[in-house]
Chain A
Amino acid sequence: MTLPRRAHPRPLDIASGRVDLTHGGGGRAMAQLVEELFVAAFDNEALNQRNDQAAFNVPGGRMVMTTDGYVISPLFFPGGDIGSLSVHGTVNDVAMAGARPLSLSAGFIIEEGFPLSDLQRIVQSMAKASKEAGVPVVTGDTKVVEKGKGDGIFITTAGIGMVPPGVEISGNKARPGDAILVSGTMGDHGVAVMSQRESLGFETEILSDSAALHTMVAEMVAAVPGIRVLRDPTRGGLAATLNEIASQSGIGMLMEEALVPVKPQVLGACELLGLDPLYVANEGKLICICAESDAPRLLEIMRAHPLGRDAARIGACREDSHHFVQMKTRMGGNRVVDWLAGEQLPRIC
């Protein structure tokens, strides 16, 4: 008699199956989930070795490492899902050091009862995002928690990358006189996610801007290695990110409301919901602070890239011992653009 060579005689029932505690138990069910769902989707040399860690050679130089947890609700939203977001978000965090992302890890915390079809959809979307970005998921982990102890699925990804020689981008490098650039319209992601919340349920054509920015960053850094600061304005939006940079660098900023690009649909939704687009999250935009003389060149590069078409110069850094981010309003008055107090939009990433 010949035994079947496959370790799992019956494939996972993706269509109607659900995650149960055995899928995190370390036994055969877990091995099957990992193999048929995760390894099949991510499929790369390091992961295929099936070790508890990925081993690979790295070039010498400066390395960056980052990690981020994703708890977004709802899991699927116009323009993306928790899977693609968990790749884009971490790739972007690596890229904001001017680095070239090399590889990712992924940890999944799944609630008992989560549909396997949703899990597959998320994992495949993640794999697609990682392949498009050219940054493989080389190692991972799966845990299953009892029903009621999670909320569907949480994903944590970590990423590493290499910084090109001569590049030293950091939040404390902004100087008075530097230009402040943004790569596109503000607030798309937050509004797209909000539109899906059951309590708000409004219809909109706005898609999340979730995207990996590293190819645009690579072109920017190649042209202007002396870029001072790069940062992606995610939670807390443009306002929170500028305040972080102002306080790290010990400077003030002055921007102009009329120069900040915001889509009319996003403005409309914010009006309805009583939100300020400056505080709404983005997942495919960056803020760049550079010497005034480098600004035209960087704007040109961003605008030539598909992810930077609406790039704009929105203001400048200046001396201010209080580190205020101020804005000239369309009315011609001035106001502080403060840190966000409390939580404007919970769980948007």
Chain B
Amino acid sequence: MKYIDEFRDGEVAQSIAAAIKAEADANATYHIMEFCGGHTHAISRYGLEDLLPANVRMIHGPGCPVCVLPVGRIDAAIWLAKQPGVTLVTYGDMLRVPGSRRLSLLKAKAEGADVRMVYSTLDAIKLASANPERQVVFFAIGFETTTPPTAVAIKQAQALGLKNFSVFCNHVLTPSAITQILDSPEVRELGTVKLDAFIGPAHVSTIIGSRPYEYFAEEYQRPVVIAGFEPLDVMQAVRMLVRQINDGRFEVENEFARAVTRDGNEKAKSLVADMFELRRVFEWRGLGAVPYSALRLKEPYAAWDAERRWDVPQDSPPDNKACECGAILRGVKKPTDCKLFGTVCTPENPMGSCMVSAEGACAAHWTYGRFRDLERSE
């Protein structure tokens, strides 16, 4: 397949792996966080850990939109789905995420709530047009990549004069999450978590460009390489980061130049800027309350805001006590450090959000990589 095979070439991967091994200082350990779940998934699915030398360690970041949504927002979505006349529409992964009392949208659906899965926001609009007697609420989640499609859906609803469509907005921002991780005591003061460099997001960066990372690369003195989601992209980014660390540089480099520019997608950015404003604070699973890290609809679009249309509960119930999703999302712990991992928490029966999405650190490790733990322990 053209434009895909080129980035999945096993021989090229081996030669990059050899270069990384040759260039990495055998006396140093390189701690590289891939922020995005897309990279986490690629690393696990293609077995890239087997190609990296032992002193280059990949740390899975919080860039999985399903994983970072706190229990309270899942509960709120379930609450919305149970309101009379409401059809709640969302992306497939959200259905299985456990809220409090082990409820999920999938279970709410089985109990009779009208919950539908869509592949595109425009399908939600179609559903609203076809069912004028139902209140169609789109449960919007995701980073900068999925925000423009939500904006387009609202524009469309406006153009069609749809009165029965609204958005439960949970869009979050990448740069604020990275800053939060770098500001966390484990990284900044205690130094218990080593983070030497970042692989920057692929799809998010196509929208926001590479410029937003320049601030924290300089401020926190951490190199960033923006990389695509194909396995060779990840390998090449690791090599570029090893070089930056060796050279003592902390620049933003762009490995994903085939899709990412410095300024990103101006049209999408202005659409989002026109429609959304920053929330003063938003709760993230694992990261806690992060200031200015999420979006809500601006006043002129209040009519499409589900949180203004309904009195949506704003509780923030705690995670399961034994669940380590929070520490895993901050890079403080590995999936295997969690007592629940693989015992009571599996993809079939997830306790925490990291086990739900294929991009979650726990699900990726369980699904593709758990044989390594057993080989190690035997």
Residues of A in contact with B (beta carbons under 8 Å apart): 199-200, 258, 264, 267-268, 271, 273, 322, 324, 326, 328-336, 338, 341-342
Rounded to whole Å, the gap between the CB of B346 and the closest CB of chain A is: 8
Is B370's CB under 8 angstroms from A336's CB?
Answer: yes
Is A336's CB under 8 angstroms from B46's CB?
Answer: no
Q: Which of B13, B347, B369 contacts A331 (CB 8 A)?
A: B13
* Residues of chain A contacted by B85 (CB below 8 angstroms): none
Is B371's CB under 8 angstroms from A333's CB?
Answer: no
CA distance A341 to B362 in the complex (A): 13
CA distance A340 to B257 in the complex (A): 34
Is B119's CB under 8 angstroms from A334's CB?
Answer: no
Q: Given the interface contacts A271-B1, A324-B371, does A334 sit within 8 Å of B50 by beta carbon? A: yes
Residues of B in contact with A (beta carbons under 8 Å apart): 1, 4, 8-10, 13-14, 17, 44-51, 96, 118-120, 123, 231, 346-348, 363, 366-371, 374
Is A329's CB under 8 angstroms from B348's CB?
Answer: no
* Residues of chain B contacted by A331 (CB below 8 angstroms): 8, 10, 13, 46-48, 51, 231
CA distance A329 to B14 in the complex (A): 12
Q: Given the interface contacts A264-B1, A330-B8, A334-B50, does A341 sit within 8 Å of B371 by beta carbon? A: no
Is B119's CB under 8 angstroms from A200's CB?
Answer: yes
Rounded to whole Å, the gap between the CB of B342 and the closest CB of chain A is: 11
Rounded to whole Å, the gap between the CB of B113 and the closest CB of chain A is: 18
Is A332's CB under 8 angstroms from B51's CB?
Answer: yes
Is A330's CB under 8 angstroms from B1's CB?
Answer: no
* Residues of chain A contacted by B348 (CB below 8 angstroms): 341-342
Q: Given the interface contacts A264-B1, A331-B48, does A342 sit within 8 Å of B368 by beta carbon? A: no
CA distance A273 to B358 in the complex (A): 14
Q: Which of A271, A322, A332 contacts B50 (CB 8 A)?
A: A332
CA distance A334 to B347 in the complex (A): 20
Is A268's CB under 8 angstroms from B1's CB?
Answer: yes
Rounded to whole Å, the gap between the CB of B121 and the closest CB of chain A is: 12
Rounded to whole Å, the gap between the CB of A74 and the closest CB of chain B is: 16
Is A332's CB under 8 angstroms from B10's CB?
Answer: yes
Is A336's CB under 8 angstroms from B1's CB?
Answer: no
CA distance A264 to B5 in the complex (A): 11
Is A341's CB under 8 angstroms from B347's CB?
Answer: yes
Is A332's CB under 8 angstroms from B14's CB?
Answer: yes
CA distance A330 to B231 in the complex (A): 10
Q: Which of B9, B48, B347, B374 contacts A322 (CB 8 A)?
A: B374
